[in-house]
Amino acid sequence: MTVPGAVPSAAASLTDAEPLRLEMTGIRKRYGAVRALREINFELRAGEVMALLGENGAGKSTMVKVLAGLAHADSGSIRVDGTPVSLHSPRQSQESGVAVVQQEHSSVPCLTVAENLFIGSQVVSGLWTRRRLRARALELLETVGLDHVDPSTITENLTVAEVQLLEIARVLARDAKILIFDEPTAALSDEAIERVLTVVRRLAEQGRSIIYVTHRLPEVFRIADRVTVVRNGRSLEPKRTSDLDVAALITTMLGRELETMFPARASIGSHARLTLDGITAPGLAEPVSLAVRRGEILGLAGQLGSGASEILKSVAGLTDGTSGRIFVDGESVSTAGRRAGIEAGIAYCSSDRKRDGIFGNVSILENLSSPWLGSVSRHRVVSMPAERREALRAARMFAIDETRLKTPVGMMSGGNQQKVALGRWIGISPKVLLVEEPTRGVDVGARAEIYKHLRTLCDDGMSILVASSDTAELFGLCDSIATFYRGRVTANQSHEQWSEQSLLREVMHQEGAA
């Protein structure tokens, strides 16, 4: 989603005459039998925003790790401003002028903004007075649009968007000239996204070079000068953004045409499978009542803090202080605790899969079986054949590679991790599935697969609630959509009553009414 006019389009004045800031030639990297990078040749000019795109597992993350000094390339060379560099450690990377703004925030919540700004910074080593540190902090905060934030503020008191901008300011404190943005807007509202994109463009105009990794293709056409696609561990020739459109970009990323993103809608049952009657909880300004029919996908549209996510957590039994009534197939379900919801057939998939959705250090099989181990156990002894049989059923349903069931989930791509986070609930045969941000950080190919699997579950009689800040996703996927703003339901209509424009207008109008 975009807000018209807030961020200028990518700089059309960038020419091939601009000096090369970064050159990667013949970069290869292998992890055991897995060839993560087969042949990476990459260039980045001074003052350029280069979008780095590709499917999950294509090699983007490994390439970023090489530049960050977190992984050592097996072969190839790297030059910064024409000088060969060795990036064998994060410190060497930092000294070469490279810095990464990670998707997962690394700020320490209990420290002040100023303290977070200068953690690990070599620039302020030595004898720096408090006054000098504060002056430098104010300068950095102003650069990223946080001039309203006092450096003495405790970081946990900042909003999600402010923390993301603080992450950008932190890398500027290291005087980096090559900035890598790794999915910087994945967890942000539209208003916050605009602030980040504005800062990225401004930094490029100041002469810094930007590598922008994202799965949100509209952002590419907003701020990127060129695009480099990585596919199967190989980099393709960079192309000017002005020479591409979304369809061409998707085809390049996938190596094939994507016939359709969203599956066709099917018939929906007449009776309500899930009924919410006067649900109140922290984060909701007034009681919420909704109904979801058998075979229906109901979308909850709203920005961070709107109430959409809060409803899902309340229904899942994860929020203390929830009141009101919940019914599944007419049977009352307790709002106190997660166990009652699971026993009633309510499954919940968090928006933060790494924290709440998967166990990254254990195998796919163990992840898939974790919610229902009791059903394949006797006297606390797990039946391994039964566990594998049920895990295979979930893997096949979500197109998870059966030959990799023993692989730790943390080694899988984001798209495969999300499929595991969803597939692990199949074993409890849920009647209702609650999903937050189902495709956050997931590439277009994996998105289409996830949408197809969700629709298949509905065709088999399940009811699904999807909370998402992506209105295009909700409009394409859902049978009905309810919009939220400041803890209230502002509209609830069938898909036929919405257009993509009216849905976006409803969400943005409410956002602008603050």
CA distance 215 to 219: 9
Q: What is the DSSP letter of 357?
A: I
Q: Model confidence over 1-49: pLDDT tens digits?
A: 333 334 444 544 455 668 899 999 999 999 887 789 999 999 999 999 9
Read off the pLDDT band of 450 (50, 70, 90). confident
pLDDT over 50 at 470, yes or no: yes
Which pLDDT does position 512 carry in this prediction? Answer: 41
Per-residue pLDDT at 238 exceeds 60: yes
Phi and psi dihedrals of 186, rounded to 5?
Answer: -60, -30
- Two tokens, residue 136: 């430098």
More confident residue, 1 or 192: 192
**At residue 53, what is the residue type?**
L
Tell me, what's the pLDDT at 4? 34
| Percent of the chain's residues with pLDDT above 90 | 35
- Confidence (pLDDT) at 508: 63
Q: Stretch 59-73: mean pLDDT, rounded?
A: 93
With 0-12 CB in 10 A as exposed, 13-18 as middle and 19+ as buried, what is 248?
exposed
51 has pLDDT over 60: yes
- Mean pLDDT score, 180-194: 79
- % the chain with pLDDT above 70: 91
Inter-residue contact 410 to 361 (CB < 8 Å): yes
- Identify the pLDDT of residue 305: 75
Using pLDDT thresholds of 50, 70 and 90, give the confidence band for residue 225.
very high
Q: Tell me, what's the pLDDT at 492? A: 93
- Phi and psi angles of residue 259, each rounded to the nearest 5 degrees, phi first: -65, -45
Which tens digit of pLDDT belongs to each residue from 110-142? 888 888 888 766 555 555 667 788 888 898 888
Instruction: Tell me which amino acid residue 452 is.
Output: K
pLDDT at 7: 47
List domains and CATH numbers for the chain.
21-97+176-258 (3.40.50.300), 105-174 (no CATH), 272-345+430-512 (3.40.50.300)
Average pLDDT over residues 197-220: 90
- State the pLDDT at residue 222: 92
Average pLDDT over residues 245-257: 82
* 348: β partners: 434
Q: Phi and psi at residue 275, in whole multiples of 5°?
A: -130, 130
> Rounded to 5 degrees, what angle do the CA atoms 12, 15, 16 make?
150
The predicted pLDDT at position 15 comes to 58
When comparing pLDDT for 378 and 75, which is higher? 75
